[in-house]
Chains A and B, each alone.
Chain A
Amino acid sequence: MTKASTTRWLALGLALALSFPAAQAQQAPIKIGELNSYARWAAFTVPYRNGWQMALDEINAKGGVLGRQLEIVSRDDGATTGDATRVADELVTREGAALLFGSFQSNVGIAMADYANQKKILYIAAEPLTDAVTMAQGNRYTFRIRPSNYMQVGMLVDQAKASGAKRWAIVAPNYEYGQSAADVFKRLIKERVPGAEIVAEQYPALGKIEAGATVSALEQAKPDGIFNVLFGPDLTQFVREGNTRGLFEDATVLSLLTGEPEWLLPLKDEVPEGWTVTGYPWDEITDPKHKAFIDAYRAKFKETPRLGSLLGYMVVYMIRDTIERAGSVETEAMIKALEDAKFDTVVGPVTMRGIDNQSTMGAWIGKLVLKGANGGMTDWSYKDGASFMPTEASVKAVRKD
């Protein structure tokens, strides 16, 4: 053991000594910091890490950016606000990261936005979906790639009009993301569907649902429409109980994110068919550029892509474009390069709207269906985010900057 490790150290020293002239000839790599909930939300974040790793490898194989290699220093954000800002501080002060990206939970996203504002460092919120990240708590240092709750719920509510459902029940995890989605839904359903009312609301603590009691409490209100925001283990339990008790049989169900493979696959053959969801129908995508990404991903990792994979891949390419256009890794230059910038991504052109730092990336809307042993999406379409964004007036009304 001791011997082996001594040899290893010697080898490392030798390698360093030999590579030193070469390393000096090249410039030091550009370091960017990444943090996400790799332990708590592995189902989403591990494919996401694969995605950004793949983009990183491709970029560096082509010579990096600004003639320098790109390096991503990745950490676990512990899925809590305190741990995340602590890790962010480590990435910035010890590792010297030029910018930060990542995080999963919405509450962590808000804490990171606040951190970015305080320390004046660029933060790209890849996943956190709450509106607050780009609205009330938004600031000039924080940018978001994925469509916000307002945008995704807006797409779903448009689908709800046709169903004629009027008595709606809401079930959502009791933290920032769920609360934000439920608020938006309440507002939009009343605006866009005349006569709609909310007849029941359940907010189980994240990861701690009492599924049986929650389902019968919803059932009691006899809703003809259900809006679901649960995901992960909560969703699995909720669907199983709901299926058994027939909760979904006579109701229109709108559900955020359930069509994403990361949350759909654990349901196995108990997929609640007919739910209208946002998701990622990767298996039916034909657009050549997007298809090429999916094929390359499957070849490289021997597994099917999740939405996280796509997101991780897109974000790193957008970061590369930003740094290239900024010509440096100065925070101000990068902010200028991001605002109102157009990016050519795997899913098509995406614009980063300058007024709220929200990208126009869209989402796939469709219905859940059982395909063999697992669930998938059918009857789907890609909705571009641009037409679902909050109006400029509403942004100006809540943003403090």
Chain B
Amino acid sequence: MDLSFLAIQALNGLSSASSLFITACGLTLVFGVTRIVNFAHGSLYMIGAYTAATLVPRLLELSFGPVTFWAGILASAIIVGLIGILIEVLLLRRIYGAPELFQLLATFGVVLVVQDLTILIFGPEDILGPRAPGLRAPVDILGRRFPSYELVLIAAGPIVLGLVWLLLRKTRFGVLVRAATQDREMIAALGVNQALLFTGTLFLGAFLAGLGGALQIPRVSAHAGMDLSIIAEAFVVTVVGGMGSVPGAFLAAIVIGQLQAFGILIFPKSTLVVVFLLMAVVLAVRPYGFFGRPEVIGGTHAVGIASRERSPFAVLAVLAVVGILAALPLIGDAYVLKVATEILIFALFAFSLQLLIGVGGLVSFGHAAFFGLGAYGAALAVKWLALPMEAALPTGLLLAALGAALVGAFVVRLSGIYLAMMTLAAAQIVFAVAFQWVDVTGGDNGIVGVWPSAWASGPTAYYLFALALTTAVVLLLMRIIDAPFGYALRAARDSAARAEAIGLNIRRHRWIAFILSGAAAGLAGGIYAFSRGSVDPTLLGIPTSVDALTMLLVGGIQTVTGPLVGAGVLHVLRDQIMPLTSLWRLVLGLSIIAIVLIFPRGIVGTLRAWQEERA
């Protein structure tokens, strides 16, 4: 390995770092001011790339030259900035006061909407942009050729850093942004026009995302799927750098760029996991990243289920529902039973999340990790140990519980948005391991041949099996919620300081809640694996976590039965709508946004509110 090669590889890393920084810088600025973790930031990046890849060639036809090219890039970024304003005015402005969970979900709704709109507007094919005029030829560095455009990119990172620094230090807008990042309430009290400040910040953030995307077009073709891959990396950069810190993001981007460039030499098959491992290590040592600061205590607003007296008919109602469900095989055909089985599985999954969010006030954004661990645990037991289903399911549950114990041990030290980001990081690490540890997990292939034992293999038998397990676990969890342990969790959720003052060990309670919840999600994952016959890394992906959150939200986050109803409604809708339209992401995204804005209490919550109004 000679020096010139190392130099070239370092330059490769720097140019990736620059692009990543420009995008992540926007994310961290927006978070600093608005405290919203904007999932749609990756979508803005994607729009930037698509717009530039479409716009720049047209401009170049008019007049070919470097000026046109760069003007086109800038114009694309400005267009994205305007879209950012649109998102702020229409959506974000209405949810600044909402709990983090609702904010995260609303911006994820935007992600779904943009995915379908992008394909509608720009078509399904990847678009490769033109090369930059004047920068087509490579330059010679230590006897090796290096693309000159990459050198421009390397310079672009520090230039953007410098400009943003000037903006933040030397303008009134910058002073306000910094002030808001430090204490939002205080600058509101001082009479600053917050609406204008927030809109301006969103424009800046979206502009940077668009610029990051537009600058990619000579090296990467614009394609659907850019959004989620960049947002995961941008999250890593902002979290490692410290949320809200621009220099932190710059440093983190450089570290990650170098890690990727040299990582592929040492581990050519595990490029993804390296990045998330870095994040885990950094967060374990410095819980708030390189330059982040601890969150203001009391800055979070948890919502969750309230304590209420149980209705005297509750036992009868449970018996009736279980009885009706058990009678379903008498009327339903094989397909109905399949859908019903899946609803049961998702109900259990969503319910396990309710224990964390609704009861404990711990917003887990990576619950798919435990669902997937359960599924993979079961599948690995079948594949490597040749265990039957009866033994594989507990194995999956155990693996999920162990995973939850490990993740929980790190996570319970945090709260609010840092907690959510840490769970997301954990889920992404598990995802990366499943995706790239091909020898054990099968990578993208997943593991096939995970079929139930003979006695449970028919649709009816498997449905009843799933029903029995789900009912038992849900009832057990309901009992736990009503037990002193559940009350202690609620106390910690509503006021950590007071709970601690009366002698509750908050961290230990939360840690146990994590393990219980992870184990239940793992069981759901295991049942799911056997109902499908295979597992694959998507079970661990961000969309799976979002699924569980959406079910919770649709059903109603302040009720015990909400997630169960939400799982049923969402899955039936999806099953009916997906074959009808290819635009189901658009439909789902808009529904999520509508629920966040109009029915934050969900179906069960709204029904109950009506009932109480009448009474």
Chain A interface residues toward B at CB < 8 A: 38-40, 42-43, 46, 75-76, 78, 80-83, 85-86, 89-90, 93-94, 105-107, 110-111, 114-115, 118, 137, 174-176, 179, 201-208, 210-214, 216-217, 219-220, 232-233, 236-237, 240-241, 244-246, 266-268
Contacts and interface: CB of A to CB of B under 8 A. Distances in A.
B219 A85 contact: no
A39 B124 contact: yes
A203 B269 contact: yes
A386 B496 CA distance: 73
B311 interface: no
Contact of B444 (A86, A114, A176): A176
Contacts of A78: 538
A264 to B, nearest CB: 12
Interface string B129-163: 00100001010000011110010000000000000
Interface of B: 1, 5, 8-9, 12-13, 15-16, 119, 124-126, 128, 131, 136, 138, 144-147, 150, 218-221, 223-225, 229, 260-261, 264-265, 268-269, 271-272, 333-335, 338, 435-436, 438, 442-446, 448-449, 451, 459, 532-536, 538-539, 579, 582
A176 B447 CA distance: 12
Given A39-B124, A213-B12, A213-B261, 15 more contacts: A39-B119, A76-B582, A81-B536, A82-B534, A85-B534, A118-B449, A176-B443, A203-B268, A208-B229, A213-B16, A216-B5, A220-B1, A240-B128, A245-B146, A267-B128
Given A93-B334, A219-B144, A241 B138 contact: no
Contacts of B136: 244
Given A213-B261, A233-B223, A245-B138, A220 B5 contact: yes
17 contacts: A39-B124, A43-B126, A78-B538, A80-B536, A174-B269, A179-B438, A202-B264, A202-B268, A203-B269, A205-B435, A213-B260, A216-B12, A217-B268, A236-B126, A240-B131, A241-B147, A266-B128
A40 B223 CA distance: 10
Contacts, number: 174
A82 B269 contact: no
Given A81-B534, A236-B128, A237-B219, A114 B147 contact: no
Nearest to B269: A203
Contacts of A46: 124
A210 B261 CA distance: 8
A78 to B, nearest CB: 8
A81 B535 CA distance: 7
Contacts of A90: 335, 338, 579
Contacts of B8: 216
A211 B149 CA distance: 14
Contacts of B333: 93
B532 A212 contact: no
Contacts of A75: 579
A374 to B, nearest CB: 12
- 8 tightest Cβ-Cβ pairs between the two chains A and B: A42-B124, A175-B444, A107-B445, A114-B448, A94-B335, A93-B335, A212-B12, A81-B536
A223 to B, nearest CB: 14
A85 B8 CA distance: 45
Contact of A110 (B435, B445, B532): B445
A202 B8 CA distance: 17
B145 A245 contact: yes
A183 to B, nearest CB: 12
Contact of A210 (B225, B260, B444): B260
Most buried by B among A206, A213, A236, A240: A213
A97 B307 CA distance: 51
A228 B392 CA distance: 39
Contacts of B533: 85, 111, 114-115, 118
A216 B13 CA distance: 11
B445 A212 contact: no
Contact of A39 (B146, B218, B582): B582
Contact of A233 (B131, B150, B221): B221
Contacts of A240: 128, 131, 218-219
A83 B538 contact: yes
A302 to B, nearest CB: 15
Most buried by B among A39, A82, A110: A82
Contacts of A81: 445-446, 448, 534-536
B12 A93 contact: no
Contacts of B9: 213, 216-217
A252 B138 CA distance: 22
B264 A213 contact: yes
A81 to B, nearest CB: 4
A86 B582 CA distance: 17
Contacts of A208: 229, 271-272
A42 B225 CA distance: 13
B264 A217 contact: yes
B435 A266 contact: no
Contact of A212 (B1, B15, B125): B15
A231 to B, nearest CB: 11
A237 B436 CA distance: 21
A168 to B, nearest CB: 16
Nearest to B146: A245
A179 B138 CA distance: 32
A76 B268 CA distance: 32
A118 B582 CA distance: 29
Contacts of A213: 9, 12-13, 16, 260-261, 264
B599 to A, nearest CB: 23
A200 to B, nearest CB: 9
Nearest to A76: B582
Contacts of B220: 211, 233, 237
Nearest to A239: B128
B178 to A, nearest CB: 34
A174 B532 contact: no
A229 to B, nearest CB: 14
A107 B537 CA distance: 12
Given A175-B443, A176-B445, A212 B147 contact: yes
A244 B147 contact: yes
A228 to B, nearest CB: 15
B536 A82 contact: yes
A194 to B, nearest CB: 27
A205 B271 contact: yes
Contact of B145 (A176, A203, A246): A246
A233 B535 contact: no
Contacts of A220: 1, 5
B147 A245 contact: yes
A82 B5 contact: no
Given A93-B334, A107-B446, A213-B260, A174 B438 contact: yes
B271 A210 contact: yes
A40 B264 CA distance: 26
A110 B448 contact: yes
Contacts of A202: 264, 268
B271 to A, nearest CB: 7
Nearest to A43: B125
